[in-house]
Amino acid sequence: MKTLIKNANIITPYEIIMSSNLKIENGKILNIFDKEAFNEKSYDEVIDAEGKYLSPGFMDIHNHGNFGHDAMEGTKEALNTIANFHIKNGVTSFLATVMTEHPIKIRKAIENVRNYIEDRDNNANIRSQVLGIYLEGPYFSMEKKGAQPPEFIKSPDLVEIKEYVSLSNNNIKVVALAPELEGAEEVIEYLREKNITISAGHTNGTFEQIKKAIDLGVTQSTHLYNGMRAFSHREPGVLGAVLTDERVLCEMIADGIHVHPAAMNLAVKAKGKDNIILISDSMMATGLKDGKYSLGGQEVYVKNNAARLRDGTLAGSTLTLNRAVYNMVHLVNVDLKDAVRMASLNSAKAIRVDDKKGSIEVGKDADLIIFDDDLKIEKAIVGGRLRKLIPE
Predicted confidence at residue 109, as pLDDT, reads: 98
Domain ranges of the chain: 2-54+365-387, 57-350
Predicted confidence at residue 122, as pLDDT, reads: 63
With 0-12 / 13-18 / 19 or more C-beta atoms within 10 angstroms meaning exposed / middle / buried, residue 333 is: exposed
Predicted confidence at residue 40, as pLDDT, reads: 87
Predicted confidence at residue 124, as pLDDT, reads: 64
Predicted confidence at residue 37, as pLDDT, reads: 74
Task: Given the residues 70, 255, 281, 367, select the one marked as catalytic.
Answer: 281
Predicted confidence at residue 123, as pLDDT, reads: 63
| CATH number given to 57-350 | 3.20.20.140
Q: Are strands 2-11 and 16-25 parallel, antiparallel or unpaired?
A: antiparallel
157 is catalytic: no
Please tell me the CATH superfamily of domain 2-54+365-387, with its number. Urease, subunit C, domain 1 (2.30.40.10)
Tell me the H-state helices in the chain. 76-88, 103-118, 120-123, 158-167, 184-193, 207-216, 237-244, 261-271, 321-332, 336-342, 345-350
Residues in the chain with pLDDT values less than 50 = 392
Pairwise CA distance, residues 249 & 243, whole Å: 9
Output b/e per residue, 132-143; b: 16+ Cβ within 10 A: bbbbbbbbbbee
Predicted confidence at residue 36, as pLDDT, reads: 72
Question: What is the model's pTM?
Answer: 0.96
Pairwise CA distance, residues 107 & 99, whole Å: 11
Q: Can 2-54+365-387 and 57-350 be said to share one CATH topology?
A: no
Pairwise CA distance, residues 168 & 248, whole Å: 25
- Contacts of residue 293, defined as CB under 8 A and 6 or more positions apart, other chains included, come to 283, 284, 285, 299, 300, 301, 302, 307
Nearest Cα to Cα of residue 177 among 159, 154, 160: 154
Nearest Cα to Cα of residue 142 among 203, 199, 232, 201: 203
